[in-house]
Structure 1
Amino acid sequence: MVLFAVIDIVGNIPIVIDLRKKAGHIQSEKAAIIAGVILIVFLFLGKSILNLIGIDVNSFAVAGAFILFFIALEMILGITLYKQDENASMTTAVFPLAFPLIAGPGSLTTLLSLRAEFSTENIIVAVLMNVVIIYIVLKTSSKIERFLGANGINIVRKVFGVILLAIAVKLFAHNIKALFDIA
């Protein structure tokens, strides 16, 4: 449940709809699988990878907070900061959908925290369950969009943009405090 709350795929539906509009199509299977692989690899190798390249978890989370901040600004202000590449569907499956939206700094740092409290097998089951939910939400995003309508999507986009902005600020504040050991 902790991982589900941090990933917040339901809250990211407006972002998914925006990305689908920009890219034309989102490869739901690829995005869910890539996010799941990133999460599981990070579960086992995350701290080592970050240490190898000289980055601590807090610095990683601060960088991710900036990305989330800019995505939230796009949602709230209706501006485009993220430019689409030629290979749009593959790029959208990986960035910003699989990383940092689904397998982002919040979920990756949460995995490191969960490792201290739960067995690895339980965490892997939680990741796999979340990947299935992610796939279902991604696959049904066009139906959700039709259900809510244009005005509903705009309202949800702005509300969740503010929520995403708050998450980015919280992630930034918590980790910048830890970086500088501010009491």
Structure 2
Amino acid sequence: MELHFDLREVATATMVLFAVIDILGSVPIIIGLRKKVGHIQSEKASIVSSIIMVSFLFVGDEILNLIGIDVYSFAVAGAFIIFFLAIEMILGVTLYKEDEPESASIVPIAFPLIAGAGTLTALLSLRAEYHVENIIIAIFVNTIFVYIVLKSSKRIERVLGKNGLNIIRKVFGVILLAIAVKLFAANINELF
């Protein structure tokens, strides 16, 4: 098997996943969970979320084939989801609200907070454009960052403050919006 390592692809995939996972924007949620249930197992949540993402990167394609959807259709649909996530981040509106979890275990942190629907959609959308090995590296880079944020969420909140977190969220929202447009434009022609 020939490896196609490309630093530009790794950087782009890392930025896309970073923006979609939005772990910095989730710091208030993480702090709320920590206050509600006590200790959050950062290591376990990070490892499980990376396993979910890597597994979906490989098995997601087969699942799509099983239900008769090609990767390009999924990428275009993913572009729409990423577009709406970006709109939420930029405008500060909530288009979709999930129920608040009752316990802070693997379920609310690893899934759906880190490896949620947006992340899994982004992974398959990225797979339509980039080599798998570059996406896997991007997943592990993000997992390391997620672990660091989970471990030091209280400190990050103190340093950045609410306004700092909002600014970061909006900047990544704009980046995500541009990525959604690029993803849509790159895959829409394959459908016709």
Scaled by the length of structure 1, the TM-score of the pair is: 0.71
Q: Deviations over 1:24-63 (max 9, x none)?
A: 3576445433432233223433332211111111121222
Aligned to 1:108: 124
| Cα distance in 2, alignment partners of residues 108 and 131 from structure 1 | 17
Aligned to 2:69: 55
**Conserved in 1, the CA contact under 8 Å of 2:13 and 2:135?**
no
RMSD of the alignment, in Å? Answer: 3.2
Instruction: Choose which of 156, 159, 182 in structure 2 pairs with 1:170.
Output: 182
Residue 15, structure 1, aligned to residue 10, structure 2: no
Q: Mind listing any 5+ residue stretches in structure 1 that lack a counterpart?
A: none
Q: Deviations over 1:94-149 (max 9, x none)?
A: 23531245x4333334446424xx6xxx9766644543333223433442232122
Aligned to 1:38: 52
Identity among equivalent positions (%) equals 51
| Cα distance in 2, alignment partners of residues 50 and 128 from structure 1 | 24
Instruction: Choose which of 75, 78, 81 in structure 2 pairs with 1:64.
Output: 78
Aligned to 1:134: 146
Q: Indicate how the Cα distance of structure 1 residues 48 and 86 shifts in structure 2: closer, same or farther if over 3 A, else same.
A: same
| Cα distance in 2, alignment partners of residues 62 and 123 from structure 1 | 18
| Cα distance in 2, alignment partners of residues 55 and 149 from structure 1 | 43
Scaled by the length of structure 2, the TM-score of the pair is: 0.69
1:155 CA displacement: 1.9
Across the two proteins, how many residue pairs are aligned to each other? 173
- Counterpart amino acid of 2:166? N
**Conserved in 2, the CA contact under 8 Å of 1:16 and 1:138?**
no
